[in-house]
C-alpha cells in the first residue's frame, strides 16, 4: 500500500534557487521522514518530524508538517548541483512499517 | 564505520535458481527490513524483523523468505526466482523500528532471466 505521495514527480530548477517538494498521506501517523537517493544508490536519511511538531530545520533543509491536511513539505534553500537526487517521504503506521511515496526527482541546473 | 552491507551488489540469474542476498549491520540495531524498488513505485517492504527470531511480512512478501538468527544479519532468500522479481533491493536497519532513522545498504540489483 502506498501512503505517501510526493508532488511534483519531477522538478528542475537553477542552482541557487529554492526547491519545494510536498508529501501527502492518508492515515494518521506517528512521524514522517524524508530521505534522499542519488541515482541507484542507497537512501540517506534527511530529517524526521514527529506528529506533534510543525516545523523542523537542518542546515539548508526545512520541513513542515500539517497533520490536519495530512501533508508535509520539504524546502531546500540555495540549491546546489549536489542536491540533484530523488527525494522520498515515508510515514509509519501502526504495524511497524514505513510506507513510502514514489518520490520527487530533483534536477539542479548549473 | 557504522554501515549496512549487502552482497552481492549485482546479480544476474535464471528463473528457478535459488539465491540468497546477504545483509549485515554493525550498529547493534534491533530492527531490520528488506525493500524492493521499482520505477514509479517507490519502495515496497518485503519483510521486516523487530529482533532476533522475530520476522513479519511486509507489503510484498510472496516469493521471498528471510531469517534472523543473529542480530547483525538478515538474509533475503529467493527459493525460485522469477522475472517479476527483477528489481533493486535494499536492506535497512534502525535502532528500534520505523519511528527511527533508517540506515540503508547500497542496494543489490537483481536481474532474473
- Judged by CB atoms closer than 8 Å, whether chains meet at B58 and A97 is answered as yes
Strand partners, B47: B34, B57
Chain B partners of A31 at a C-beta cutoff of 8 Å? 99
Question: Nearest residue of B to residue A46 by CA position?
Answer: B101
Instruction: Measure the CA–CA gap between B90 and B95, rounded to whole angstroms.
Output: 17
Instruction: Measure the CA–CA gap between B35 and A99, rounded to whole angstroms.
Output: 11
The stretch B14-35 carries a mean pLDDT of: 97
pLDDT tier, B85 (very low <50, low <70, confident <90, very high otherwise): very high
Please give the backbone phi and psi of residue A83, each rounded to the nearest 5 degrees, phi first. -80, -10
**Which of A51, A7, A2, A54 is CA-nearest to residue A26?**
A2
Is residue A39 a contact partner of residue A87, using CB atoms and an 8 Å limit? Answer: no
Instruction: Identify the pLDDT of residue A1.
Output: 40
- Judged by CB atoms closer than 8 Å, whether chains meet at A45 and B43 is answered as no
Question: Nearest residue of A to residue B42 by CA position?
Answer: A102
Q: What does chain A come to in residues?
A: 110
pLDDT tier, B30 (very low <50, low <70, confident <90, very high otherwise): very high
- Tell me whether B22 touches chain A (CB under 8 Å): no
Per-residue pLDDT of chain A (110 residues; tens, 9 = 90+): 445 678 899 999 999 999 999 999 998 888 999 999 998 788 999 999 999 999 999 999 999 999 999 999 999 999 999 999 999 999 987 666 788 888 999 999 99
Amino acid at each position: 500500500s502506498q501512503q505517501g505521495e510526493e508532488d511534483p514527480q519531477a522538478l528542475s530548477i537553477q542552482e541557487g534557487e529554492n526547491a519545494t517538494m510536498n508529501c501527502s498521506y492518508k492515515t494518521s501517523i506517528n512521524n514522517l521522514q524524508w530521505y534522499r537517493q542519488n541515482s541507484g544508490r542507497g537512501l540517506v536519511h534527511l530529517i524526521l518530524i514527529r506528529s506533534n511538531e510543525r516545523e523542523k530545520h537542518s542546515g539548508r533543509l526545512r520541513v513542515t508538517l500539517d497533520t490536519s491536511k495530512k501533508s508535509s513539505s520539504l524546502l531546500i534553500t540555495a540549491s546546489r548541483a549536489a542536491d540533484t537526487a530523488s527525494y522520498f517521504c515515508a510515514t509509519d503506521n501502526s504495524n511497524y512499517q514505513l510506507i513510502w511515496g514514489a518520490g520527487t526527482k530533483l534536477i539542479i541546473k548549473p | 564505520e557504522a554501515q549496512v552491507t549487502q552482497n552481492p551488489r549485482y546479480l544476474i540469474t535464471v528463473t528457478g535458481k535459488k539465491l540468497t542476498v546477504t545483509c549485515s549491520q554493525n550498529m547493534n540495531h534491533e530492527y531490520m527490513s528488506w525493500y524492493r524498488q521499482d520505477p514509479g513505485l517507490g519502495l515496497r517492504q518485503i519483510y521486516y524483523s523487530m529482533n532476533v527470531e522475530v520476522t513479519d511480512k511486509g507489503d510484498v512478501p510472496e516469493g521471498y523468505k528471510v531469517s534472523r538468527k543473529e542480530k547483525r544479519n538478515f538474509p533475503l532468500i529467493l527459493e525460485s526466482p522469477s522475472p517479476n522479481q527483477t528489481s533493486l533491493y535494499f536492506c535497512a536497519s534502525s535502532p528500534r523500528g520505523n519511528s527511527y532513522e533508517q540506515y540503508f545498504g547500497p542496494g543489490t540489483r537483481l536481474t532474473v532471466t
